[in-house]
């Protein structure tokens, strides 16, 4: 039988914070408890010190206590910071320093989709931007949110610069190429990004979701941080996603990581809209000849094995990189090229998946923290 809220809280009362000598429940450190069958998730407050490393043993102790209960299949405990430990630049300073646990749908935004990868450098940002533009070409109102704290690339890829405008309450997204755009790079200092942990990333992401004037949108494309660690799991769990697209290159090692990405979304019940194989084959920019450098087709096989839609292959082509670097993504700069068409087909596939799920009698399961 699945656990109840009371049995979980009772188990957590046995976990004592050595810093205060009080149990985590009575000390008020637990919030956002969610139950979904045998899956349990909640936040553990870090306190004002913001020292996530020091609280890690306590986080684990909470997870272990809940996992040990009958009927619990999985427990996810995320550390929640009272405030980010590093001084944030102007845009986020304008907003509240209070703990930010906002969750749930964003008014006026129909779908939020994540673009994720098991490892960095496989073309997740390139896909996010070109997918957003491809969805725009299908007549949808589209936004793109760059949550890739390890290397926000949206400003460069869309040629955006400057500070976002704010009325003191909400931020106005940038408008570029007919899509609304906002990057975590605008509210987080880049050189500090590497030391940020899941909860801190989540605070910034929550602000990007709820403090930006996104509406009205059909689809908000979220460029996730690469990997399947703490930050990514927290996001996958707490952002109200309609689904996720996982991108991989064809090499075995990348595919192993992509499978971890798929497993991560499965774990938190976010539907997989499909898998994309980037740098699938090489097209010579001079003669147009095709070469399968890394042995192509692994992502399609992985998708088939996992019963996940395969959304398509994108060739490795110099123009894709060059156009990204100059702020004119390939879908806009060379729309008739094979490489732009590859992105256009992926956008069609994503739209078809979203439409099908919207019409399904039981919609996708959306987990909110």
Which residue among 147, 314, 344, 346 contacts ligand ATP (CB under 6 A)? 314
Tokens of 150: 């390890």
Closest to ligand ATP by CB, 121 vs 363, is: 121
Q: Which of 39, 103, 125, 353 binds ligand ATP (CB under 6 A)?
A: 125
- Judge whether 123 is annotated as a binding position: yes
Residue whose CB is less far from ligand ATP, 123 or 312: 123
- Residue pair 34/40 in contact by the 8 Å Cβ criterion: yes
Rounded Cα gap, residues 129 and 219, in angstroms: 13
Binding mask 101-120 for ligand ATP (x = CB under 6 A): ----------------x--x
Q: Per CB under 6 A, does 156 bind ligand ATP? A: no
- In the complex, the smallest distance separating the C-beta of residue 109 from ligand ATP, rounded to whole angstroms, is 23
Question: According to CB under 6 A, which one of 183, 228, 308, 324 is a site residue for ligand ATP?
Answer: 324
Q: Which one of 151, 240, 297, 335 is in contact with ligand ATP (CB under 6 A)?
A: 151
**Is 109 annotated as contributing to ligand binding?**
no
Query: In sequence order, what are the residues at sequence separation of 6 or more whose Cβ sits closer than 8 angstroms to the Cβ of residue 343?
Result: 127, 130, 131, 133, 134, 314, 330, 331
99 is in an annotated binding site: no
Give 342-366 as a DSSP string: HHHHHHHHHHHHHHHHHHSSS----
Distances, alpha carbon 253 to alpha carbons 43, 148, 230, 304, in Å: 33, 21, 21, 18
- Hey, how many other C-beta atoms are within 10 angstroms of the C-beta on 9? 17
Does 351 belong to an annotated binding site? no
In angstroms, the Cα distances linking 338 to 271, 315, 366 are 29, 8, 35
Closest CB to ligand ATP among residues 12, 245 = 245
x/- contact string, 261-300, with ligand ATP (CB under 6 A)? -----------------xx---------------------
Element holding 300 (H helix, E strand): helix 298-305
List 17, 146, 148, 313, residue binding ligand ATP (CB under 6 A): 148
Q: Compute the 3-state secondary structure of the chain and give helix, strand, coil in percent, each to the nearest 5.
A: 35, 25, 40
Residues 267 and 128 sit within 8 Å (Cβ to Cβ): no
Q: How far is the CB of 52 from ligand ATP (least distance, A)?
A: 22
Cβ-based nearer residue to ligand ATP, 203 or 324: 324
Say if residue 216 is preceded by a cis peptide, omega within 30 of 0: yes
Among 12, 65, 77, 122, binds ligand ATP (CB under 6 A): 122
- For residue 118, count other CB atoms closer than 10 A to its CB: 25
Question: Residues with Cβ < 8 Å from 362, sequence gap 6 or more?
Answer: none
CA–CA dist 164, 176 (Å, integer): 13
Is 260 annotated as belonging to a binding site?
no
Binding residue per annotation — 118? Answer: yes
DSSP code string of 332-346: HHSTTSHHHHHHHHH
Q: Does residue number 329 form part of the binding site for ligand ATP (CB under 6 A)?
A: no
Site stretch for ligand ATP (CB under 6 A), options 20-28, 61-69, 147-155, 166-174: 147-155
**Residue in 320, 344, 346, 350 binding ligand ATP, rule: CB under 6 A:** 320
Site for ligand ATP (CB under 6 A): how many residues? 20
List binding-site positions for ATP: 118-125
Q: Which residues bind ligand ATP (CB under 6 A)?
A: 117, 120-126, 148, 151, 153, 226, 278-279, 314, 316-317, 320-321, 324
List binding-site positions: 118-125
């Amino acid at each position: 039988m699945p656990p109840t809220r009371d049995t979980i809280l009772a188990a957590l009362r046995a976990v004592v914070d050595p810093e205060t000598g009080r149990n985590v429940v009575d000390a008020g450190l637990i919030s956002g408890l969610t139950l979904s069958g045998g899956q349990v998730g909640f936040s553990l407050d870090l306190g004002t010190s913001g020292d996530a490393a020091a609280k890690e043993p306590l986080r684990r102790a909470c997870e272990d206590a809940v996992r040990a209960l009958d009927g619990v299949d999985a427990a996810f405990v995320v550390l929640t910071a009272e405030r980010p430990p590093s001084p944030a630049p102007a845009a986020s300073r304008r907003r509240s320093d209070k703990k930010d646990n906002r969750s749930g749908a964003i008014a006026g935004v129909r779908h939020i989709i994540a673009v994720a990868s098991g490892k960095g450098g496989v073309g997740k940002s390139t896909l996010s931007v070109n997918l957003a533009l491809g969805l725009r070409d299908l007549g949808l109102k589209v936004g793109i949110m760059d949550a890739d704290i390890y290397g926000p690339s949206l400003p460069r890829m869309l040629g955006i610069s400057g500070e976002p405008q704010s009325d003191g309450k909400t931020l106005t997204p940038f408008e570029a190429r007919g899509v609304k755009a906002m990057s975590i790079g605008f509210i987080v200092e880049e050189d500090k990004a590497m030391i940020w942990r899941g909860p801190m990333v989540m605070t910034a992401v929550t602000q990007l979701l709820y403090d930006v004037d996104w509406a009205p949108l059909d689809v908000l494309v979220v460029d996730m941080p690469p990997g399947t660690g703490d930050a990514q799991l927290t996001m996958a769990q707490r952002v109200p996603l309609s689904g996720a697209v996982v991108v991989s290159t064809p090499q075995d090692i990348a595919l192993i990581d992509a499978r971890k990405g798929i497993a991560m979304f499965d774990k938190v019940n976010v539907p997989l809209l499909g898998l994309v194989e980037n740098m699938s084959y090489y097209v010579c920019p001079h003669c147009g000849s095709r070469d399968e450098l890394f042995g192509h087709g692994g992502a399609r096989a992985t998708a088939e094995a996992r019963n996940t839609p395969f959304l398509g292959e994108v060739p490795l082509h110099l123009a894709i990189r060059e156009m990204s670097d100059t702020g004119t993504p390939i879908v806009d700069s060379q729309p008739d090229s094979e490489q732009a068409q590859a992105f256009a087909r992926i956008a069609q596939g994503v739209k078809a998946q979203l439409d099908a799920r919207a019409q399904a009698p039981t919609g996708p399961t959306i987990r909110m923290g």
